[in-house]
Amino acid sequence: MKYIFDFDDVLFDNTKQFKEHMYMHLEKAGVSRKKTEEYYKTIPKNQFWLKTILAHFSLKEDLYETILRESKNFVNEELVNIIKKLGKNNCYIVTHGYEEWQRDKIQRAGIAPLFSEIMTTQGSKKEAVEAICAKHKDEQVVFIDDKAKHFEDLDFQKYPNLKTILYDEQGVDK
């Protein structure tokens, strides 16, 4: 059995914890949360990169590392423990966003070595998920994401080995 995990808000608490952490550091550097949120809204979601915000507000680039240094604190330890038991060869990450930003967060979170492959997409996750299904056509593939929209364009008829799990605040218990 193979498992595909989304990163943000599944393996990594991006929305409730990491963003708050980021806003706090930006405020300490002199940029109000209101200004940061206003600018954040102007960046297409799949183009967000913290370095863009730092440059926009003329902040020192070393703040990037200061903010990312805490990434391990936002990892979903419950899922990481399960992934360790499943084994690297059975686990993948398919994440949505700006590639360098996603890879930096994954690396700093310390979980990259737990996965056989990490794929980043700025559009649909369809191609990446279905490529894994095709590669493992004789095995069940489970795709875990916190947004149902990432399941909508998947071809379940072509890939009957694919199952999906909508991950929410109830987490693994659900």
Q: How far apart are CA 4 and CA 155, in angstroms?
A: 16
Tell me the three state secondary structure of residue 162: strand
Same domain, 59 and 111: no
Question: Tell me, what CATH number does 156's domain have?
Answer: 3.40.50.1000
In three-state form (DSSP H/G/I as H, E/B as E, the rest C), the secondary structure along 74-104 is: HECHHHHHHHHHHCHHHEEEEEECCHHHHHH
The domain in which residue 64 lies consists of 14-68
Same domain, 48 and 61: yes
Same domain, 40 and 86: no
pTM above 0.75, yes or no: yes
C-alpha distances out from residue 74 to 32, 65, 173, Å: 23, 15, 19
Q: Is the pLDDT score of 172 beyond 80?
A: no
Which pLDDT tens digit goes with each residue over 1-36? 999 999 999 999 998 999 999 999 999 999 999 999
DSSP 143: E
Same domain, 46 and 89: no
Same domain, 83 and 60: no
What's the total number of domains in the chain?
Answer: 2
Count the neighbouring beta carbons within 10 Å of the beta carbon of residue 60. 9
Which pLDDT tens digit goes with each residue over 67-80? 999 999 999 999 99
Q: How far apart are CA 127 and CA 135, in angstroms?
A: 12
Same domain, 91 and 157: yes
Query: For the chain, what is the largest distance between any 2 Cα atoms, rounded to a whole number of angstroms?
Result: 55
Same domain, 32 and 101: no
